[in-house]
Amino acid sequence: MENIKGSCLCGKNHVMIKRYGNFVYSCHCDMCRKMTAGPVMAVDPEKSDNVELQLDAELVTYYQSSPDVERAFCATCGTYLFWHHLVRDHYCFNAELFPEIIADAQFGLQVFYDRKPNYYDFANETKKFDSHWQEVE
Ligand SMILES: [Zn+2]
Ligand SMILES: [Zn+2]
């Protein structure tokens, strides 16, 4: 797919991924779960040259969750927008911003699987990696 449009719940902030397939992964880390009340479902367009941020600077809140990483949120509706590694210039977006992607998504990977609490489990067949990037099972 090309020029895939995404937006937050209130529709004030827009993002676009220039080229992407349908790969979705989940992150079970403590920060993602606290931020969203569950695992984050994410897409990984990687570099900034593959994304176009159409954000209203006054309507976006950034939170630096670790020294090299910022997370962006819509300041109006609270929607989690993206994770951005500032040094690697690597973006991962909230998959749920993009109706076209999730309509035919391939859920293929779970990360920080060792941080997943016991009260939920996905039934999907996926690869799983722990917080040290070692494959589990
Ligand atoms: Zn919003
Ligand atoms: Zn995470």
Of the candidates 31, 24, 17, which has an alpha carbon nearest to the alpha carbon of residue 108? 24
Asked if residue 124 is part of any domain, the answer here is yes
Asked if residue 137 is part of any domain, the answer here is no
Strand pairing class (80-85; 90-94): antiparallel
Asked if residue 32 is part of any domain, the answer here is yes
Q: What pLDDT is attached to residue 56?
A: 86
**Could you list the residue range(s) of the whole structural domain that residue 57 is in?**
2-128
Q: Is the pTM of this model over 0.85?
A: yes
pLDDT 10s digits, 121-131: 999 999 999 99
Asked if residue 135 is part of any domain, the answer here is no
Asked if residue 34 is part of any domain, the answer here is yes
Tell how far the Cα of 71 is from the centroid of ligand 2, in angstroms. Answer: 11
Q: Which one-letter amino acid corresponds to residue 6?
A: G
User: Ligand 2 being an ion, which residues bring their Cβ within 5 A of it?
Assistant: 27, 29, 32
Of the candidates 44, 116, 36, which has an alpha carbon nearest to the alpha carbon of residue 83? 44
Tell how far the Cα of 25 is from the centroid of ligand 1, in angstroms. Answer: 23
CATH number at residue 43: 2.170.150.70
pLDDT 10s digits, 35-45: 999 999 999 99
Total structural domains in the chain?
A: 1
Asked if residue 134 is part of any domain, the answer here is no
Asked if residue 82 is part of any domain, the answer here is yes
pLDDT averaged over 10-residue windows placed end to end, the chain, 137 residues: 96 96 97 97 94 92 97 97 96 98 97 98 97 94
